[in-house]
Amino acid sequence: MIELDALFWGRDWQPAPVELFRHRVERETRDDGWIVVGNYGQVRDLVWRPADTLIWLDLPLSLVMWRLVRRTVRRVTTREELWGTGNRETLAQCLLQPPVDPAVGAQDPPPQPREASRWSASSSPRRSASCACRARARLSAS
């Protein structure tokens, strides 16, 4: 499983430059048999175009927010390190800064099958209260 947050965030919550982020995603999705979890407009074309399956969880914003708060409280209290970067969520960060979670923001509707190619070609970043997971796996005949 490829978690886009792990490829995007560096130490001290520094986002990767777009070129580096795209390079990381290209490297991770080069072979068959991958699942990508995340929703970053900067790499949508790299993930959606070669994917053979797109799963969009169109969850109510209230449920997304509840899960976000519950997860954040757990991460703050346990001092969980995120993505091997040394990053940890803090109470001050949660109260004083905008959320780093891409699930919080303007909601996009889930893509319709005929719209997937239009969305994948879009260069505008979209933030959503939904989760996107893309999978591509080729079964070999044995």
Task: Give the pLDDT of residue 124.
Answer: 35
Task: Give the pLDDT of residue 98.
Answer: 61
Backbone angles phi, psi at 15, to 5 degrees: -75, 145
Nearest Cα to Cα of residue 59 among 134, 135, 132? 132
Task: Give the pLDDT of residue 122.
Answer: 43
Burial of 135 (0-12, 13-18, 19+ CB in 10 A): middle
Task: Give the pLDDT of residue 81.
Answer: 93
Model confidence, pTM: 0.69
Pairing of strands 34-37, 2-3: parallel
pLDDT block averages, 10 residues each, the chain of length 142: 92 94 95 86 89 81 88 92 90 72 48 50 35 41 42
Task: Give the pLDDT of residue 93.
Answer: 80
